Every structure is written in structure tokens, then in C-alpha cells.
Amino acid sequence: MECLNGNIEYTRIGDAGTPFEDIDAWCHLHDQYLTRYGLNKQYKELLQVLRKKAEIQLNYVRTKDKFSLTLLEIEEENLKIMLSNNGQGISIEQTLVHLSKFVGYWLRAKDITTGEYFTLLDEYKRITKLENGKKD
């Protein structure tokens, strides 16, 4: 979670680490995530918004059209919403409150791994669908 917020020094184990090592460690962690979970629909949508944002920025540099800045603000807000816990509009901490109720004990962000978080989230979604009469 800290890495996603730009604090890649959290990839370090212990006190050692340089910015270059941090980036390598972050890339390694991200590659592991992609290998395990793949590119889901939400991630692909995020990439599309990032691409659209880059195209708007490029258009502004070329044309200096002030309307591009408005379009850019719209896309930045879309990104903020999408990055807020898979577009659910709630923080990861708020999601942990709901997952804590689901598992029956308090989950702390510092005590749960990313893999455990996503596994619990997937199970919670699956059980919720079943309870609402929907099949996977």
C-alpha cells in the first residue's frame, strides 16, 4: 500500500537500500503481483485512463489549448477514483474494517500481506455473490 502511494522505500528489508535498489525491489514485487493476479478488467481500464491522460498532456504541449487542461483535470479525477481501492470509492483501511467483520477478527494493514489482502477480498466478493444468489 505504501509503495502504491509512491513510498517505494517500503520495499526494503532492514536499513540498507538505495533508490535504485528500491525501484528494482518494487519492480520485482509488481511482477510477482502480475504473475499471480494478472491484468484484471479494472487494471486494463486504469491503463486506458493513463493513456488518455498522456494523450491530453501531449495535445496541450502541442497546441497550448487551455481546454486540454480541463480535460486533464477530469482524467486526473477519474484516476483518483479508480486508484481508491479498485474504484470502490473507499480506502483500503475501510475495506479492512469490512473484511475484519467477515473473518471475525481485526485485520491491521501492517499485519496483512498483499497476497492475503487480495485473497480475502476475492473470497469476500465470492461469498457475497453466493449470498445474493449469483454464481461465479
Q: 93 with 136, same domain? A: yes
Range of the domain at 10: 1-38
pTM passes above 0.85: no
Q: Is the pLDDT of residue 102 over 80?
A: yes
Q: How many domains is the chain partitioned into structurally?
A: 3
The pLDDT tens digits of the residues spanning 75-90 come to: 888 777 776 655 555 6
The pLDDT tens digits of the residues spanning 11-47 come to: 665 555 555 566 777 788 778 877 877 776 767 777 8
Q: 94 with 135, same domain? A: yes
The Cα-based distances of 93 to 16, 58, 102 in angstroms read 29, 36, 14
The pLDDT tens digits of the residues spanning 42-52 come to: 677 778 888 99
C-alpha 119 chain-centroid distance:
15
Confidence (pLDDT) at 88: 57
Q: Is the pLDDT of residue 62 over 90?
A: yes
Mean pLDDT of the chain: 76
Q: 12 with 55, same domain? A: no
Q: 78 with 94, same domain? A: no
**Residue whose C-alpha is closest to residue 114's, from 15, 36, 42:** 36
